[in-house]
Amino acid sequence: MDRSEGGKTLRRGIRRPAARRLVQLYAALLHNAYIKGFIDGKIYEGKAKYLCAPGLNCYSCPGAVRSCPLGALQNALSSAGHRAGWYVLGMILLFGVVLGRTICGWLCPLGLIQELLHKIPVPKIRKSRVTRALSWLKYVFLAVFVLAIPLYYGLAKGLPLPGFCKYICPAGTLEGAVGHLANPANASMYEMLGLFFTRKWIILVVIALVCIFCYRSFCRFICPLGAVYGLFSRFSLIGVKVDADRCNGCGSCVRHCSMDVRLVGDHECIHCAKCMEDCPQGAISLKVGKITLKGPEAGKVPVRRNRPGRILWGIALAVLCFALVWFNFLDPSVKGTGQDTPAVQVNETWASEAPVGYETGEQLADFTLACYDGSVFRLADTRGKVTVINRWATWCAPCIEELPYFNGLYKAHEGDIAMLVLHPNLTVTDPESFLADFGLAMPCATDAEGEPVKEIVGGTTTLPQTIVLNRRGEVVYNSVKSVTPEVLEALYQEAANQ
């Protein structure tokens, strides 16, 4: 029997996957039940994302149907000046007290990926004093990237900056970035890649490589979510428990464990329950309170087993099937796309024969929006000028960083340029008061109910988006990526000279 897996050997040496592996696969599929997202290249936009996933699973993954607790925590901290993020804190506390680091061992999709990578046969780096010392690093990552950076930038600079997501998170790069880039429907996303992506890609490759040699190295040395859940280890409801009366202190459990544990069930223990098979005394079991979920192997100590039976697996399978059908086909909270767009009514000196659409060369359908300064922005009235539309959000750091560039462009070409800075109608904070701090000269508005302008400009859930129209209202540029002053000026010149 493969000790590291705990799976039983069937005929011809084929191993049956261990229950834990099946649970991990099940959880990964349940975390990412929106299969349609992988096909369409879009993310799930339904209300199921009101709930956090227990494990580390990027909510920008095309398949994700739950929010990432770590990403949500960072965003809550970065907007702490406006509103306290009690909800995320409550969710994390609840997961911690009920499951603790059992999440890492049984439910985390990234944990599963790391374990599969570690299956690749190469000489392995075993745990040692060095790895034990390195295991404290994750608390540094937690303090600096998850707590300090978002709080500092949020409170001092008004910038929502999720430090861990931005600089390190391999789940974001793998599930979010690579998940989107792999889909041909998102080919335009390549335009926004640069130094930032290069850096995160290299981090992902390095972490994946290290995971091949060193068991769950991301969990052990980096993962701030594991660090948080580790704080609940001593009193979480579900977890590996040692029967002190049976334990003779031989240390077999700790010696065989691949994590940097000093004691079974400590803050480094992921409650995978592999140590149960190594305990000669049968003193270790996986429990929910006082109920035993997984007991010692038969033949050692006669403890009554309470393993998830076929009925439980049947229910779990039914839940998974329901989730797949619900999230992909039935969920009414997922918005539909492809609304009919009205034709442009105004055709004066700057008439255009271009078809209505949002691709380059097409003309945008007309729309009217009331702006915060009391003016009304009507697209048809901008004919004869270069028109720039920028979609941004208060929670999007790159959007906020580039707002002054648009302001500069507007001031430089005032009279020959029409500009609209458009916020989605889902607001975290009041954009009007937020914008007052910037002293912006151009009109700013929030998209109307149902986000009709987002549909007209071919907007997605990705921000920031910039659309530049020539004097005839034809699209010269429509892209989801950050821009620089140089790019904006070049786009203006291109549109003005067409």
| Chain residues 168-227 in contact with other proteins, contact rule CB under 8 A | 169, 172-173, 176-177, 180-181, 184, 187, 189-202, 205-206, 208-209, 212-213
Q: How far apart are CA 269 and CA 233, in angstroms?
A: 8
Of residues 37, 63, 85, 295, which one binds other proteins by CB under 8 A?
85
Q: Looking at 31-39, 120-128, 308-316, 413-421, which segment touches other proteins (CB under 8 A)?
A: 120-128
- To the nearest 10°, the Cα dihedral for 84, 88, 89, 91? 150
Of residues 221, 229, 392, 395, which one binds other proteins by CB under 8 A?
395
DSSP-derived secondary structure for 20-45: HHHHHHHHHHHHT--HHHHHHT----
Shortest reach from residue 429's CB to other proteins, in Å: 9
Of residues 135, 236, 328, 446, which one binds other proteins by CB under 8 A?
236
For CA atoms 443, 444, 447, 448, the dihedral sign is negative
Closest CA to 91 of 50, 63, 59: 50
Per-residue contact flags (x/-) with other proteins for residues 267 to 286, judged by CB under 8 A: --------------------
Of residues 247, 288, 323, 354, which one binds other proteins by CB under 8 A?
247
Residues numbered 437-466 forming contacts with other proteins, rule: CB under 8 A: 460-464
Instruction: Please tell me the number of Cα atoms within 13 Å of 313 on its side-chain side.
Output: 9
State in Å, rounded, how far the first CA of the chain is from the last one. Answer: 72
Considering CB under 8 A, how many residues would be counted as binding other proteins? 118
Residue 162 lies near other proteins (rule: CB under 8 A): yes
Of residues 28, 76, 369, 453, which one binds other proteins by CB under 8 A?
76
Of residues 1, 39, 81, 87, which one binds other proteins by CB under 8 A?
87
Shortest reach from residue 342's CB to other proteins, in Å: 26
Shortest reach from residue 228's CB to other proteins, in Å: 13
Shortest reach from residue 191's CB to other proteins, in Å: 5
Residue 166 lies near other proteins (rule: CB under 8 A): yes
**Bridge partners (DSSP) listed for residue 386:** 417
Q: Are 477 and 450 in contact (CB under 8 A)?
A: no
Residues numbered 329-368 forming contacts with other proteins, rule: CB under 8 A: none
- Dihedral pair phi/psi, residue 63, rounded to 5°: -95, -10
Closest CA to 162 of 154, 318, 454: 154
Shortest reach from residue 375's CB to other proteins, in Å: 27
Residue 484 lies near other proteins (rule: CB under 8 A): yes
- Cis, bond preceding 443 (omega within 30 deg of 0): no
Q: How far apart are CA 281 and CA 276, in angstroms?
A: 9
Long-range contacts of 122-131 (CB under 8 A, 24+ apart): 122/212, 122/213, 123/213, 124/213, 124/214, 124/215, 125/213, 125/214, 127/215, 127/257, 127/258, 127/259, 127/260, 131/214, 131/220, 131/221, 131/260
Q: Are 386 and 468 in contact (CB under 8 A)?
A: yes
Of residues 1, 93, 137, 312, which one binds other proteins by CB under 8 A?
93
Residue 263 lies near other proteins (rule: CB under 8 A): yes
Given the complex with other proteins, which of 39 and 187 has the nearer CB atom? 187
Of residues 123, 299, 336, 439, which one binds other proteins by CB under 8 A?
123
What DSSP element (H or E) covers 494? helix 485-496
Of residues 39, 143, 351, 490, which one binds other proteins by CB under 8 A?
490
Per-residue contact flags (x/-) with other proteins for residues 126 to 155, judged by CB under 8 A: xx----------------------------
Instruction: Please tell me the number of Cα atoms within 13 Å of 409 on its side-chain side.
Output: 27
Shortest reach from residue 107's CB to other proteins, in Å: 18
Residue 230 lies near other proteins (rule: CB under 8 A): no
Q: Are 27 and 66 in contact (CB under 8 A)?
A: no
**CA–CA–CA angle 25, 94, 103 (5° rounding):** 25
Residue 390 lies near other proteins (rule: CB under 8 A): no
Residue 412 lies near other proteins (rule: CB under 8 A): no
Residues numbered 25-44 forming contacts with other proteins, rule: CB under 8 A: 43-44
Given the complex with other proteins, which of 199 and 378 has the nearer CB atom? 199
Of residues 230, 424, 458, 473, which one binds other proteins by CB under 8 A?
424
* Angle of helix 109-118 versus helix 19-31 axis, rounded to 10: 130
Of residues 32, 57, 59, 282, which one binds other proteins by CB under 8 A?
59
Shortest reach from residue 380's CB to other proteins, in Å: 27
Shortest reach from residue 340's CB to other proteins, in Å: 23
Residue 250 lies near other proteins (rule: CB under 8 A): yes
Q: Looking at 65-73, 144-152, 342-350, 410-418, which segment touches other proteins (CB under 8 A)?
A: 65-73
DSSP-derived secondary structure for 233-285: TTT-SEEEEE-TTT-----HHHHH-SS--SSTTSTT-----GGGGT-TT--EE
Shortest reach from residue 106's CB to other proteins, in Å: 19
